[in-house]
Amino acid sequence: MPEKIVIVGGGFTGLAAALALARADPRPEITLLEAGAGLGGLAGGFPLCGTFLEKSYHYLLLGDTEALALARELGLGDQLIYRTGSVAIYDGTAMHPFTTALDLLRFRPLPLPDRLRLGLVMLRLQLMRDWRPLAGETAQAWLNRACGPRAMAVVWNPLLRGKFDRHWDRVSMAWLWARIHTRANSRQGGRERLVYFRGGFAALVDAMQKKLLDAGVTLRTGSPVARIETAPERRVRLQTGEALAFDRCLFTGPSDVFARLLPEEPALAAYRRQLGSVTYLGAICVILVTDQALGRHHWTNIHDPQAPFLVMIDHTALTGTDPYQGKHVYYLGCYCPQDSRWFSTDDAALLDEWLGYLGRIHPAFDRSRLGERHVFRFRNAQHVVDCGYEANIPSFRTPLAGVYLANFSQIFPYDRGTNFAIRDGLRLARLVLDDMATGPPGTHPTAERS
């Protein structure tokens, strides 16, 4: 009898794990349960202008080797489009190009000595190979010392506050180092190269879905798992509306959600606390379709505390307008605490406020030329990586026999991303296959991650 395995979550971690398990010999019997209506998780798409677009902005970088290798392996090599990005900073009064070293030298909001100092610090961080000496210090403290208070006020504070809201001064410098490294490694000729899919990330999700269906994997969307427990005969029981039993369960949703699904047993209290110690932020993404061209930068960071959003992305500056029936497609986005008013404000009021601010950035912006507009809200979009974070990352194996956990909050020091989701989904599958080969559920220590 093949083992019965359930994967909870149809984002890239769950899809990659399912794909690797489906290739195993002997192949387990695999079911994937996804709460949402479609697959892809945070990178999931929806139909727009005759193609598919991610509900939140998504691109790959040149160093995203796992995702790029998987795309090629699934026959999507000729669907990958490589483009050069451009970045600007809007400081509440003016737009400042911020793509190249020359842009930094011309960046008027900072006095020249601070620009030079900032450039040298960026170079130093890029040359630094090891994040470990940075892990014990906050980004705020480290950057303040290295770049000085003016660069802090004009560049770093707005970025950190925009990304982490009230948690901005807790973030570890190791996280920022990793973020700078991944982006720097995607530069060619002094400019960032980004990778996207013809047909959006949906092209990759669809190719994975097809492989899974061909391999006989059961895929069920609209199936939120409400409870996970283990029975004495070592079977994992799930509740999704009906009771289901499996030999092993791979949970790939957020840690705080996982904690709520576990039994209230005292023996699990410390583990629940560990899971609950991750601070998650939400994200809001507005998508606008218009025949109006607004500016010339792909990515604009908004460094204005009055702004309701952190970033404006001209998606079609990267892809061109052809895939979208000749229309321009923009994202406006922010990260916010899960109790933020943006989760309770209705779409019309939110749009009114956000579009009002867009008119400040681009005075020519004309609401009457807007076509489709969409508001998407994500409760678990980003986690706060504070000092000492790595010591508290849970392993893939959990204290529940046969139950495993892999989600983006276990990625360190790099920021979450589809590439790492695929990497960890594959790693998790390897661990599960090793465990299957060496004993029944519950006979392995919990400590090892991969």
Phi-psi region of 213 (alpha: psi -120 to 50; beta: other; left: phi over 0): alpha
Which residues, in sequence order, are bridge partners of residue 334?
284
Asked if 419 interacts with ligand FAD (CB under 6 A), we say yes
| Cα 122 to Cα 220: distance, rounded to the nearest angstrom | 46
Phi-psi region of 190 (alpha: psi -120 to 50; beta: other; left: phi over 0): left
Q: Residues 35-74: x/- map of binding to ligand FAD (CB under 6 A)?
A: xx----xxx------------xxxxx--------------
Asked if 416 interacts with ligand FAD (CB under 6 A), we say yes
Cα-based torsion angle of the residue sequence 52, 377, 300, 100 in order, rounded to the nearest 10 degrees: -70
Q: Are 333 and 369 in contact (CB under 8 A)?
A: no
Q: Least Å distance between CB 332 and ligand FAD? A: 11
Asked if 85 interacts with ligand FAD (CB under 6 A), we say no
Closest residue by Cα to residue 197 from 299, 396, 312, 59: 59
Q: Residues 331-350: x/- map of binding to ligand FAD (CB under 6 A)?
A: --x-----------------
Q: Least Å distance between CB 138 and ligand FAD? A: 23
Lookup result for tokens 């570890």: 172
Would you state the structure tokens that stand for residue 221, as one six-digit string? Answer: 């969307």
Q: Residues 368-397: x/- map of binding to ligand FAD (CB under 6 A)?
A: ----------x--x----------------
Could you say which residues in the range 270-309 bind ligand FAD, by CB under 6 A?
Answer: 283, 285
Closest residue by Cα to residue 23 from 220, 219, 246, 214: 214
- The DSSP secondary structure of 130-182, one letter per residue, reads --GGGTTSBHHHHHHHHH-HHHIIIIIHHHHHHHHGGGGGGBBHHHHHHHHHH
CA–CA distances in Å: residue 173 to residues 81, 269, 282, 296:
32, 31, 22, 32
Helices (H) and strands (E) in the chain, counts: 14, 21
Asked if 407 interacts with ligand FAD (CB under 6 A), we say yes
Output b/e per residue, 65-93; b: 16+ Cβ within 10 A. ebbbebbeebebeebbeebebbbbbbbee
| Cα 361 to Cα 90: distance, rounded to the nearest angstrom | 7
Q: Least Å distance between CB 36 and ligand FAD? A: 4
Q: In 277-367, which ranges are continuous DSSP H helix?
A: 315-319, 347-361
Size of the site for ligand FAD (CB under 6 A): 36
Q: Least Å distance between CB 415 and ligand FAD? A: 8
Which residues, in sequence order, are bridge partners of residue 283?
335, 378
Q: Least Å distance between CB 117 and ligand FAD? A: 29
- H/E run at residue 211: helix 202-214
| Span interacting with ligand FAD, options 27-35, 160-168, 290-298, 384-392, rule CB under 6 A | 27-35
Q: Least Å distance between CB 110 and ligand FAD? A: 27
Residue 142 or residue 319: which is nearer to ligand FAD going by CB? 319
Residue 174 or residue 195: which is nearer to ligand FAD going by CB? 195
Q: Residues 194-233: x/- map of binding to ligand FAD (CB under 6 A)?
A: ------------------------------xx--------
| Span interacting with ligand FAD, options 121-129, 146-154, 180-188, 411-419, rule CB under 6 A | 411-419
Residue 151 or residue 285: which is nearer to ligand FAD going by CB? 285
| Span interacting with ligand FAD, options 12-20, 174-182, 316-324, 434-442, rule CB under 6 A | 12-20
| Cα 225 to Cα 244: distance, rounded to the nearest angstrom | 10
Residue 225 or residue 385: which is nearer to ligand FAD going by CB? 225
| Span interacting with ligand FAD, options 7-15, 97-105, 148-156, 355-363, rule CB under 6 A | 7-15
Asked if 179 interacts with ligand FAD (CB under 6 A), we say no
Q: Least Å distance between CB 94 and ligand FAD? A: 26
Residue 57 or residue 131: which is nearer to ligand FAD going by CB? 57
What SS3 state is found at 427? Answer: helix
Asked if 28 interacts with ligand FAD (CB under 6 A), we say no
Out of 157, 252, 301, 409, which residue is the one contacting ligand FAD (CB under 6 A)?
252
| Cα 226 to Cα 240: distance, rounded to the nearest angstrom | 6
Could you say which residues in the range 133-172 bind ligand FAD, by CB under 6 A?
Answer: none
Out of 28, 200, 253, 402, which residue is the one contacting ligand FAD (CB under 6 A)?
253
Residue 188 or residue 221: which is nearer to ligand FAD going by CB? 221
| Span interacting with ligand FAD, options 2-10, 78-86, 147-155, 387-395, rule CB under 6 A | 2-10
Q: Is the dihedral of CA 10, 3, 450, 423 positive or negative?
A: negative
Would you state the structure tokens that stand for residue 424, as one six-digit string? Answer: 């960890």
Residues that bind ligand FAD (CB under 6 A): 8-14, 33-36, 41-43, 56-60, 224-225, 252-253, 257, 283, 285, 333, 378, 381, 407-408, 416-419, 421
